[in-house]
Structure 1
Amino acid sequence: MSTAPVTERDALTSVTSRIQDFDRHGILFGLKLSASLSPMLHDIIYQHLGLRWGQIRLDSTDMDLFLSLIKHPKFYGASVTMPHKVAVIQHLDELTDECRDVGACNTIFVRDLPDGRRLFCGTNTDVVGIREAFLQNVADPAAVLSGRPGLVIGGGGAARSAVYALRRWLGVTTIYVVNREKAEVDALVAQCRSRGYGDDLVHVETVEQAEALESPGAIVACVPDFPPKTEAEILARRVTMTLLKKERKGVMLEMCYNPSPFTELGALAESEGWQVILGTEALIWQGIEQDKYWTGRDVSEFPVEAVQEAIARKVEQKSARL
């Protein structure tokens, strides 16, 4: 079997050959997209709304190719995944506050002007996915989350989205950050503070420091599902477990869902008495927010339960094969 990389021509052909299948089309732009649940999620919504729309995968690193494809008159918007979430921003006409503050774009939508021009606008629905994952799955969010510290595990782009959501919408106080790389945390803190939502971020670096802290109410885990191996990874896990073992519990959103949302860290949290929300919930709610931008419809018109059931079935199938 050939393992040759996908060429620009191959990527272009894969998109243009499918455009005719739809009245309007979107693009999923990134790498390693074959297992993405995004097209299926949006297909369910469009079918329910009676729209002959679809999202086409563009598995490519070619930004110029992507920018040329979005100029098609039937293009309605794009989901942007790694490694393009930051790089694409400089090519857009407008940014929402969420996109600008987090410094990453996962969604492009089009704004048509009266003079016929089209503006390509960037937003970040990952933050909404995190918010809604908590609000839709916690019986009394104010009692469990508000007025308590939050905890973010990780230091990358998803961690920035987590800090933003916890600070802006979920009423947390201090936000603890646990991560194997101090440099990543320093960059995270600097970015968040520069945009005005990074006050009271505390890098928890030792077990002793964790033992002295109040228990968090909301935890967002933004790390891959790999057993800790290096000294730094083992220390970060020990610090995390120290916080999980505190008497007062809360809720953890496990953002990792590939290849399975049933992670080792999630199992450890459940064993300590925490409510664990699967990362597929954040995926679903960020996707629903995308379709609000793209279709102009309200969430009340979307088949949310059907989406959740379809994603759950797909996850069960994937998990059974592992």
Structure 2
Amino acid sequence: MVKALVIGDPIEHSLSPVMHNVAFNQAGIHGSYEKQRVTSEELDGFIQGFRNSGYAGCNVTIPHKVSILPYLDEIDEEAREIGAVNTVVNKNGKLIGYNTDGRGFLLSLKEKITKPLTDLSILLIGAGGASRSIAYALKKENPKQFSIANRSEERLRSLLRDLKEERIEPLSLKRAEEDLSRFDVLINTTNAGMYPEVQTVPLNLHHLKEDAVVCDIVYNPLMTRWLETAKDKGAEIDNGVSMLVMQGAMAFEKWTGIFPDTDKMKQIVIEQLRR
């Protein structure tokens, strides 16, 4: 039996168990996936027990994505560059850390775009942990133009230093709004519009290109006010469910060797959110 779980604090809201258990069923694997609240004080004890627990691995969410690093025996190069881990593989007691967030987002984005990223201009909004993971994945795709906008100039400068990519253009939110018509893809990585602050938006879309692709990593609500506005303006839209599912599918593959049916995973997550 393949066993996995997600750890974090808080963890009650996590939809990972429903989508991973569907993935086990669809793949014909006898497996189970749980969620477990692990506080920062409990992380050390959890890791000690986890090594010999028989679990194939775990997902890691807030607040442990960075603090788990010293406990791991090996860290994938991309996760090391990002400085955070969201997936751990337990290989007979040897713990290996990965970060599937950025590449998971990339898989979901590629389902929406009709041109290669090398032909597209991209605007990433935000400079937090999610933005960092997505930016690392995107820069390897060599987009035609890559800009990052953030409210805090200091935090944006820090991210750009870490990315070590001179071609990325830093923008204020005001400048990004003014220049919006030059971007083919917009990606919100902030929590603007997330429940309960559903009326907030990361930036206005007055100058949005009609055929732009607009992505929001928020998935509660399923349709943020920002995405609704983008849709009304003729854009192709995508919410945070796609990234959630794709990063989960990549973790599932690392534990089982099988890439799961992501359509079924998306379906069950959307059903849960609509409830």
**Does TM-score exceed 0.5, indicating one fold?**
yes
Aligned to 1:202: 169
Instruction: Give the 3 Å change call, closer, same or farther, for CA 126–71 of structure 1 in structure 2.
Output: same
Q: Which one of 90, 102, 107 corresponds to residue 132 of structure 1?
A: 107
Instruction: Give the 3 Å change call, closer, same or farther, for CA 213–91 of structure 1 in structure 2.
Output: same
Aligned to 1:267: 228
CA shift, 1:181, in A, is: 1.5
Q: Which one of 28, 35, 38 corresponds to residue 50 of structure 1?
A: 28
Q: Which one of 125, 128, 136 corresponds to residue 164 of structure 1?
A: 136
CA shift, 1:90, in A, is: 1.7
- Which 10-residue stretch deviates more, 304-313 or 40-49? 304-313
| Cα distance in 1, alignment partners of residues 176 and 186 from structure 2 | 17
Aligned to 2:184: 217
Instruction: Give the 3 Å change call, closer, same or farther, for CA 148–65 of structure 1 in structure 2.
Output: same
Q: Which amino acid aligns with 1:34?
A: E
Q: Which one of 259, 262, 269 corresponds to residue 304 of structure 1?
A: 262
| Cα distance in 2, alignment partners of residues 209 and 34 from structure 1 | 36
| Cα distance in 1, alignment partners of residues 248 and 173 from structure 2 | 37
Find out whether 1:70 has 2:50 as its counterpart.
yes
Specify which structure has the higher proportion of helix: 1
CA shift, 1:180, in A, is: 1.6
1:224 is paired with a residue whose SS is coil
TM-score when normalising by structure 2? 0.88
CA shift, 1:277, in A, is: 0.6
| Cα distance in 2, alignment partners of residues 59 and 304 from structure 1 | 26
2:204 is paired with a residue whose SS is helix
Aligned to 1:12: none
Q: 8 Å contact 1:127–1:165 — kept in the other structure?
A: yes
Aligned to 1:141: 115
CA shift, 1:288, in A, is: 0.7
Find out whether 1:28 has 2:2 as its counterpart.
no
| Cα distance in 1, alignment partners of residues 191 and 230 from structure 2 | 15
Q: Which amino acid aligns with 1:134?
A: L
TM-score when normalising by structure 1? 0.76
1:47 is paired with a residue whose SS is helix
CA shift, 1:49, in A, is: 2.9
Q: 8 Å contact 1:162–1:220 — kept in the other structure?
A: no
Q: 8 Å contact 1:173–1:200 — kept in the other structure?
A: no
| Cα distance in 2, alignment partners of residues 224 and 290 from structure 1 | 24
| Cα distance in 1, alignment partners of residues 29 and 77 from structure 2 | 29
Aligned to 2:244: 283
CA shift, 1:104, in A, is: 1.0
CA deviation profile, 1:263-322 (whole Å, cap 9, x unmatched): 12222222332211111011111111011100012x2xx3332222212222222xxxxx
Aligned to 1:111: 91
| Cα distance in 2, alignment partners of residues 289 and 279 from structure 1 | 16
CA deviation profile, 1:94-134 (whole Å, cap 9, x unmatched): 1112211211100001234xxxxx32101111112111111
Which consecutive unaligned segments of at least 5 residues does structure 1 have? 1-22, 113-117, 228-233, 318-322
Number of aligned pairs? 268
Aligned to 1:252: 214
| Cα distance in 1, alignment partners of residues 132 and 153 from structure 2 | 15
Larger radius of gyration: 1
Q: Which amino acid aligns with 2:144?
A: T
RCO (CA 8 Å, sep 6+): is it higher in 1 or 2? 2
Q: 8 Å contact 1:245–1:272 — kept in the other structure?
A: no
| Cα distance in 2, alignment partners of residues 51 and 213 from structure 1 | 46
Q: Which amino acid aligns with 2:155?
A: E
1:75 is paired with a residue whose SS is coil
- Which 10-residue stretch deviates more, 58-67 or 84-93? 58-67
CA shift, 1:37, in A, is: 1.0
Q: Which one of 97, 110, 132 corresponds to residue 77 of structure 2?
A: 97
Q: 8 Å contact 1:163–1:175 — kept in the other structure?
A: no
Q: Which amino acid aligns with 2:110?
A: L
Q: Which one of 121, 126, 129 corresponds to residue 96 of structure 2?
A: 121
1:131 is paired with a residue whose SS is helix
Q: 8 Å contact 2:7–2:59 — kept in the other structure?
A: yes
